[in-house]
Amino acid sequence: MVDCIFCKIIKGEIPGKFVFKDNDFVVFHDINPKAPVHALVVPKQHVESLREVNETQVDLLGKMMLTTSKAAQKLNIANEGYKVVINNGKASGQLVFHLHLHLLGGWKEAAHWQV
Of 28, 49, 60, which Cα lies nearest the Cα of 93? 49
Distance separating alpha carbons of residues 25 and 43, to the nearest angstrom = 4
Of 88, 10, 74, 2, which Cα lies nearest the Cα of 39? 74
Residue 25 identity:
F
Catalytic residue among 38, 100, 102, 112: 100
Catalytic residue status for 112: no
Residues forming the active site: 100
